[in-house]
Structure formats: structure tokens, C-alpha cells
């Protein structure tokens, strides 16, 4: 299930709570979408493969031109330094900062009974963000996350076994479970690391 509303890139964590999705992934995706829709707000002179191709394919052309121009101006071809090292992607760096802020916000919210109660009962967290949260949360909140990861995993294993039976019988449908498992093991689609 997906949240129906379009989230603002700076939306508070509580707005990203929805059954069946990792709220940290949801907010990072919203932030990444905002970058692609309005790249002028996130200037970059260096981009990774994924973000350069996303800019080329999904951003307003006038903005893509501006960023690619500055990337070409900054490129090692023009400089005499002879540097051949890889430069960090400006957008990946911004996304990591946003991710760290949202993980810290999650840790703060876990002190509130209402938030912790909802997360305990309905929460979904991907493995990557779950492990990051376990590292920064004290006990017993870290145990809540371990419990969520274990029950998410158990449910996915059950769905995968069901799907396996269907596939072997040659039945169609139910392939959505493969996407849910990918989301669980490597975070939502298109999130770089």
C-alpha cells in the first residue's frame, strides 16, 4: 500500500506513517522527487550515474541544461590538475543528510507513546533503515524495531512461499510480493546509497 498524498520534501515523519511502507524510505523518495522536479533549488556540479540520468530524463529541460552546463565547466577535462578521482554526488550527499535527520526524528518520536504504539502495531521498516535505527535507539525502543523487522520478514516469507506455489503451478498474479521483498532488503526503488 502507498500513501495517497504527495508529501512535501520537509514533511514531518508522522505524515509518512502508512501501513506496509518504510516511512524513512517514503520521505527520502519525496525529497529526491523534489530535487528532480526543481533542481535549481539543489545546485550540483557533480552527480552519480543514477542522478545524472534521472536529471536527463525526468527534470524540466531548462534546469537540466543549467546543471549539465555547470558539470561540464567543472569537469576534469578543463582543469590542469589531472585529477581522475571520483567526486561525491552533490544530490546523494544532500539525501544522506536528509536521511540522517529523519532517522534522528524517528528516534525522538519513539519517546512519544502514541507514535511508538502505532509503530509497534502497524509499522513497516526496511532492513537498511531498521538496522540504522537499532544502532541509534536505546533499549527498549531498539527491541521494538527488531520485533518489527522480524515480523515483516516472517510475513514476506509467507507471501513468497505462496507465490512460489502459484509460479510452479503456472498461475499468474501475486508478483507484487517480489517488489515488497526488494523494498524490504534494499529499500524503495531508486534510492542510492
Specify the residue, 32 or 177, whose C-beta has the smaller distance to Zn ion: 32
Q: How much of the chain is helix, strand and coil, in % rounded to 5?
A: 65, 0, 35
129 belongs to the binding site for Zn ion (CB under 5 A)? yes
149 belongs to the binding site for Zn ion (CB under 5 A)? no
133 belongs to the binding site for Zn ion (CB under 5 A)? no
48 belongs to the binding site for Zn ion (CB under 5 A)? yes
Residue from 51, 59, 132, 149 touching Zn ion (CB under 5 A): that is 51
Residue from 7, 21, 22, 30 touching Zn ion (CB under 5 A): that is 22
24 belongs to the binding site for Zn ion (CB under 5 A)? yes
> 88-107: which residues touch Zn ion (CB under 5 A)?
89, 91-92
Please say whether the beta carbons of 140 and 47 come within 8 A: no
Taking the complex as a whole, how short is the minimal distance between the CB of residue 31 and Zn ion, in angstroms? 12
Among 127, 166, 165, 167, CA closest to 148: 127
Q: What angle do CA 23, 26, 32 make, to 5 degrees?
A: 145
- Cell numbers 516472517 correspond to 154
Taking the complex as a whole, how short is the minimal distance between the CB of residue 159 and Zn ion, in angstroms? 18
31 belongs to the binding site for Zn ion (CB under 5 A)? no
With CB under 5 A, what is the number of residues at the site for Zn ion? Answer: 12
Please say whether the beta carbons of 144 and 120 come within 8 A: yes
Q: How far apart are CA 73 and CA 79, in angstroms?
A: 9
Specify the residue, 55 or 177, whose C-beta has the smaller distance to Zn ion: 55
Instruction: Kindly give the residue spans of alpha helices, DSSP state H, lying in 18-140.
Output: 23-37, 49-58, 61-74, 90-109, 113-122, 127-136
**Residues near Zn ion, by CB under 5 A:** 22, 24-25, 48, 51, 89, 91-92, 126, 129, 187, 192
Amino acid at each position: 500500500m502507498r500513501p495517497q498524498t504527495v508529501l512535501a520534501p520537509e514533511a514531518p515523519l508522522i505524515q509518512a506513517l502508512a501501513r506496509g511502507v518504510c516511512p524513512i524510505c517514503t520521505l527520502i523518495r519525496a525529497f529526491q522527487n523534489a530535487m528532480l522536479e526543481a533542481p535549481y533549488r539543489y545546485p550540483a556540479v557533480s552527480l552519480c550515474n543514477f542522478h545524472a540520468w534521472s536529471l536527463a530524463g525526468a527534470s524540466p529541460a531548462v534546469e537540466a541544461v543549467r546543471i549539465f552546463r555547470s558539470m561540464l565547466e567543472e569537469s576534469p577535462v578543463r582543469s590542469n590538475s589531472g585529477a581522475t578521482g571520483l567526486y561525491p554526488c552533490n544530490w546523494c550527499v544532500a539525501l544522506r543528510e536528509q536521511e540522517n535527520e529523519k532517522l534522528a526524528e524517528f528516534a525522538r518520536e519513539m519517546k512519544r507513546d502514541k507514535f511508538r504504539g502505532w509503530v509497534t502495531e502497524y509499522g513497516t521498516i526496511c532492513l537498511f533503515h531498521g538496522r540504522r535505527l537499532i544502532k541509534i535507539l536505546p533499549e527498549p525502543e531498539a527491541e521494538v524495531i527488531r520485533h518489527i523487522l522480524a515480523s515483516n520478514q516472517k510475513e514476506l516469507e509467507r507471501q513468497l512461499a505462496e507465490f512460489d506455489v502459484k509460479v510452479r503451478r503456472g498461475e499468474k498474479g501475486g508478483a507484487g510480493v517480489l517488489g515488497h521483498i526488494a523494498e524490504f532488503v534494499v529499500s524503495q526503488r531508486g534510492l542510492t546509497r
